[in-house]
Amino acid sequence: MGKNVEIPLLTAEDIECRISTVKATGGSILLYKDARCDMRILDSVFGIYGWQRQNELIDGQLFCTVRVQNPETKEWISKQDVGTESYTEKEKGRASDAFKRACFNIGIGRELYTAPFIWITWKGNEYNNGKPRIDLKVKSIKYNSRREIVDLVIVDKDGNIRYSMTNKPKKDIPLKKDPIDDAFDLAFQEIKEAKSGDDLASIFNRWSGLQSSKQFISALTERRQQLGIFKSNEIDAKTV
């Protein structure tokens, strides 16, 4: 048998920032990779002749299968996942999303699931008429031996640090009269936007303070069923 192929960890340049939950005081940020990043890494690791992709409709859902070839044994391995449509180009969005998910299964960018909860506080005129206007990027990112994120710095277009995992200002966490309400709002918004079982597991683990809430568990279970995922040991253990 050949050696396992090492999938490189994403660099700061590979990762993009997307605003998730939006409030008047600030917003939560999700880290993601695009399809071009996946293709570049597939080319780098397996060569342009060493991987394939195929889309197919199964029960009305668009799936993507990515096949990669072991450079030593020449054996082909397949990974498949389903995509969800985007807000703009539905079919193109589904195809791209399915491809990116299949690449997650191969191991490309899986470390993003270890990202912390990221909250950015708006400054100046960054929030107008209910919409945020801000460009963010990852300045630096570090991982431990388990391929988990241990340090992360996000900056705006002017280079100002807006989030630091190891030196996060307390004021970056908005608190109102009832902090648990904000926690519920943010957690439920993340659940609504979850696109895979791994997303839901990450949300479940990150919001440990809500794990005793029946409402929180119910929302996770409902989203899991919407995605067609019928088994989750961690979540099921809390719903017994």
DSSP of 109-134, one letter per residue?
TGGGGGPPPEEEE--TTSEETTEE--
Q: Identify the weakest region by mean pLDDT among 46-50, 108-112, 201-205.
A: 201-205
Determine the 3-state secondary structure of 153 from DSSP: strand
DSSP state for residue 209 in the 8-state scheme: G
- Judge whether 134 and 126 are in contact, CB under 8 Å: yes
* Structure tokens given for 192: 């609504």
* Structure tokens given for 75: 């054996």
**Band of residue 174 on the pLDDT scale cut at 50, 70, 90:** very low
* Structure tokens given for 106: 């191969």
**Band of residue 148 on the pLDDT scale cut at 50, 70, 90:** very high
Domain ranges of the chain: 12-29+109-168, 34-108, 175-240
Q: In what order do the strands lie in the sheet with 76-82?
A: 51-58, 61-69, 76-82
Residue holding tokens 């963010």?
136
d(CA 93, CA 71): 31
Residue bearing the bigger pLDDT, 215 or 147: 147
d(CA 218, CA 210): 11
DSSP state for residue 69 in the 8-state scheme: E
Determine the 3-state secondary structure of 200 from DSSP: helix
Task: Give the pairing of strands 76-82 and 16-22.
Answer: unpaired
For 124-143, the pLDDT digits (tens) are 889 988 889 999 999 999 99
Q: CB-based burial of residue 110 (10 Å sphere; 0-12 exposed, 13-18 middle, 19+ buried)?
A: middle
| 35-46 helix and 90-106 helix, angle to the nearest 10 degrees | 40
For 155-168, the pLDDT digits (tens) are 999 999 999 998 75
pTM over 0.85, yes/no: no
Right CATH number for 34-108 from 3.30.470.20, 3.30.390.80, 3.30.70.1560, 3.30.410.40? 3.30.390.80
